Amino acid sequence: MEKKNKFLIVIVGPTAVGKTELCIKLANTLNTEIVSADSRQFFMETELGTAKPNADELSRATHHLVNTKSIHENYDVGEFEKDALSALEDIFSKKNTAILTGGSGLYINVVCEGMDEMPEIPSEIRQGVISDYSSFGLEYLQEQIKVLDPEYYRTVDIKNPQRLMRALEVFRGTGRPFSSYRIKQKKERPFHVVKVALMRDREELYRRIEKRMDNMVEQGLFEEAEKLFPLRFLNALQTVGYTEIFGFLEGKYDREEAIRLLKRNSRRYAKRQLTWFRKDPTYNWFHPEQFDEILDYIKGQINP
């Protein structure tokens, strides 16, 4: 494909900011399709806990990489890069624009710029990290990464042991922080990238997060988590939205405390997402309700 005619429109922002609705509206206006870069929405078995687009939203625009994997599969960022580029190749074979959206900065970046090849880590090192996690728990992993790779610690979902274990095994296997492997040399992509970041006033965003959590609970989040409870140690379920409910189901605290933790951890997750995106000066920031301004900006980049 000719790069000069192809444009990838990237829409990012913290959880609950309003990415889904904006992207559907953009996809319909620009007559294109959406690729999800949200690492929590790939899995078929998870619904409410990941706030993925619902059936109505999925019917209003074509989405790629939503409900494509099972939680029983180990799916990493390298595999995602291949799948996302394949989806974009398909879209660009028919259209000149495509939309990439999500709140996972690492997954967005790997599509736009690639990442350095990760070295092969000996299995004994990987098993040693897994053993340490089993023996010492999540807090141990958090403290290790905080000391060994503070740059990654500032942006990673610190409630996700899979991400932390991966970073720790890379450090132990290479002596280099995981963050040092990320995008040292940008890969040439066959498309231009137009970056848009969404943000609301902090209090407004936090109200939306809390309302979303309340809605998820009303719609059956506890019941969904209870069905997944026997599988709670799978990597895909080690994330905000499920771990708080699993703690309740294990008898560690009551239902009210689980909801409080759900809201608190979601706010913290949003804060980490914003920390990541604000470090990238190539994003242009808008309120999600500034649709006309966003559309004008995108069109100006496509047709300068």
Binding-site positions read 13-20
Binding residues for ATP: 13-20
Q: Residue 27 is encoded by which pair of tokens? A: 């996809």
Binding residues for substrate: 15-20
Q: Rounded to an integer, what distance in angstroms lies between the CA atom of residue 210 and that of residue 259?
A: 10
Q: Rounded to an integer, what distance in angstroms lies between the CA atom of residue 166 and that of residue 168?
A: 5
Written as one letter, the residue type at 299 is: K
Q: Rounded to an integer, what distance in angstroms lies between the CA atom of residue 246 and that of residue 255?
A: 11
- The dihedral formed by the CA atoms of 277, 281, 283 and 288, expressed in degrees to the nearest 10: 70
HSE value, Cβ hemisphere, 13 Å, CA-based, for 15: 31
Q: Rounded to an integer, what distance in angstroms lies between the CA atom of residue 243 and that of residue 297?
A: 39
Which residues in the chain belong to E strands, given as ranges?
A: 7-12, 34-36, 63-64, 97-102, 192-198, 284-286
Cβ proximity of 262 and 253 under 8 Å: no
